[in-house]
Structure 1
Amino acid sequence: MLKPAGIIPAMITPFDESQNLNESALRQLVRRFIDANVHGLFCLGTNGEFFTLTMEEKLRVAEIVIEEAQGRLPIYVGSGCVGTKETVQLAVRLEQMGADALSIITPYFLTFTQQELIGHFRSVAEATALPIILYNIPARTGNSLLPRTVMELSKVPNIVGIKDSSGNFDNILQVLELCEPDFAVLAGTDSLILPTLMAGGHGAIAATANVFPEVVSSIYDLWMQGKPEEAELSQRKLRALRSAFSLGTLPSVLKEVMNMIGLPAGEPRLPVQSLTSSAKGELRIMMDRYMGEGVIK
């Protein structure tokens, strides 16, 4: 079964002027990631605006990414929905389409007990043979997978890892301590990629890799080569972009930066609006600095 590891970009979903899926742009982004030697692709996550997509749109995004990748790297697809039944239905369809693994976000809107969350994930795992990555992002969902809950779920044969986007490094440390070494712990907060690797984690599902995938991938590659100082230098290069995310509602900053460097991200889907002119000015200063330092060419 797939062992998740490395740097896996958390792909944006590009839209055209009418806020429809830009299929040619999506194919272009997949090819760019492959050329950058990332270790997998993750579509239909938070930065992919899964919450604004219809079921048909989700399936089409997954179909394009799988088709364009042509088996050259693992494709992780977000299939979490608010209800267990819908999540199972999507998971089954994605397995039939050829996804390599699924990322399942916690249910959202209501606050669920840990036992309810365990039941949800077990039901999905029983419905598919695909490897499953738990997705913990409590700031967005209002539900947190506690470390002991993760430990319990890690005993399910096809639940193989977790993307922890809690931003709480202690949470990552506890999961690493409680779970078996082959259970993949992936940072979902880009500022914690190297600390997670140093603690025994396996990599990251990273939003900043949309902008400079080579830089983000080098954090993992350099760490694996026994070059922690060089890996730290790469980690530091993410700071300015990470800090800039506060200039707008997710993923408006990420898409604007990509548009600035000629990548066809388009605008975020409403109700998220594009950035103000002052925010764009701040981003331009940041991007000029990145270009001057050779981080972005």
Structure 2
Amino acid sequence: MGFVPRGIIPPIITPLTDDGEVNYPVLRQMVNHLIDNGVHGLFPLGTTGEFYAFDDDTYRKILETVKDETRGRVPVYGGANHITTRGVIRLVKICEEVGVDAVSVLTPMFVSQTQDELYAYYKEIAESTSLPIILYNNKPKTNVTITPATVAKLAEIDNIVAVKDSTGDMTNAAEYIRLTRDNDNFHVLMGRDTLIHAALCYGATGAIASCANVAPRIAADIYDKFMEGDLKGSLDAQFELAPLRIACGMGTFPAVIKEGLVQQGIPVGKCLAPIGELTPEEKEKLHQVLVDMKLV
């Protein structure tokens, strides 16, 4: 298709008010904060954006807000995630109407599909739209994986342009790259923030990185320095980012991401229940990580 997802793309958090409504002024603030710090795209309504929490009208308004505030400065990737094929297609149609640049489609949750069922799922979604589609494998959250062989087969569909690998399994990501390396239309994005540099070395074109919400400049440096040929600088930035990603093991995701932003003075609020806040001890541990990274 000619669309290449590249660089550091934060799955932007969804700021909330104290009563659990979307805080649209702070969402606009986040858009500018991230772009000003060098990210290469924005991805509303991913896992980090608590996509599962919003009805269709709110979903549309979040996308419209990000698209409007971005003003074409970077591509906007819309998350279109649902447990059914028809549910995804409904969300993809909203993405089309809003005018996002591409959509990311997670594997279905809860139900355990065969690889043939996954292939049919993505094929039907791709046939329903002209938008570029990014496959999203988050096996740790969904308990569903897209095997390298299935990804290679799906990569032959014209508007399926990439896969995001959040498995944390570098061999899996490497196989995605190896099996599609002769397909110039298809690309691999890393979804585990500790492995961005490694994935770039293998041939990935970028990363959808949740920690880029909190440390956008550090995350962007991993990609920018790599592309400049400064491999040591890229690796140094990767090592600098790693403690924040490891700290995400505290609490329930994405509580650490939101707390990190709050500690930086950006009033993004809490996650929606049942996700709770970090404990005081966890907040202090996270604060020390941010101090060490010179983010507070």
Q: TM-score, normalised by structure 2?
A: 0.97
Q: Secondary structure at the match of 1:204?
A: strand
Given residue 41 of structure 1, which amino acid in structure 2 is its aligned partner?
L
Residue aligning to 1:227: 230
Amino acid at match of 1:215: I
- SS for the counterpart of 1:37 is coil
For residue 20 of structure 1, give the secondary structure of its aligned residue in structure 2.
Answer: coil
- C-alpha distance after superposition, 1:259-290 (max 9, x if no partner): 00111221001000111111112112222222
Q: Which of residues 199, 206, 211 is equivalent to 1:208?
A: 211
Q: SS at 1:41's partner residue?
A: coil
1:41 aligns to what? 42
Is the 2:158–2:185 Cα contact (8 Å) retained in structure 1? no
- The equivalent of 2:162 in structure 1 is 161
**Equivalences for 1:1-297 in 2 at 5 Å?**
1-179=2-180, 180-291=183-294, 296=295
Aligned-pair RMSD on alpha carbons? Answer: 1.0
Following superposition, the deviation at residue 57 of structure 1 comes to 1.6
Using the TM superposition, give the Cα deviation of residue 181 of structure 1 relative to its aligned residue in structure 2, in angstroms.
Answer: 4.3
Deviation track 1:232-264 (CA, whole Å, cap 9, x = no partner) reads: 100001121111111100011110011001112
Comparing 156-165 and 45-54, the one that deviates more = 45-54
C-alpha distance in 1 between matches for 2:204 and 2:50: 26
- 1:46-73, Cα deviation, whole Å (9 max, x unpaired): 1100012222221111110011111111
Deviation at 1:139, TM superposition (A): 1.1
Distance 1:29 1:43 in 2: 11
Query: Which stretches of structure 1, 4 residues or more, deviate above 3 A after TM superposition?
Result: none
Residue 156 of structure 1: how far off its partner (Å) = 0.5
Secondary structure of the equivalent of 2:74? Answer: coil
Gaps of 5+ in 1: none
The alpha-carbon deviation at position 183 of structure 1 amounts to 1.3
> What is the DSSP-based 3-state SS (H/G/I as helix, E as strand, rest coil) of the residue aligned with 1:80?
coil
The 1:182–1:227 alpha-carbon spacing in structure 2 relative to 1, beyond 3 Å, is: farther
Q: Which residue identity lines up with residue 170 of structure 1 in the other structure?
A: T
Checking the alignment, whether the CA contact within 8 Å between 2:7 and 2:206 is kept in structure 1 is yes
Q: For the residues of structure 2 that align with 1:49 and 1:102, how far apart are their CA atoms?
A: 16
Tell me, in whole angstroms, the C-alpha distance in 2 between the residues paired with 1:54 and 1:18. Answer: 16
Distance 1:119 1:24 in 2: 40
The Cα of 1:226 is off from its aligned counterpart by 0.7
Given that residues 51 and 81 in structure 2 are in contact (C-alpha distance below 8 angstroms), is that contact kept between their aligned partners in structure 1?
no
Structure 2: gaps of 5 or more residues: none
TM-score (norm 1): 0.97
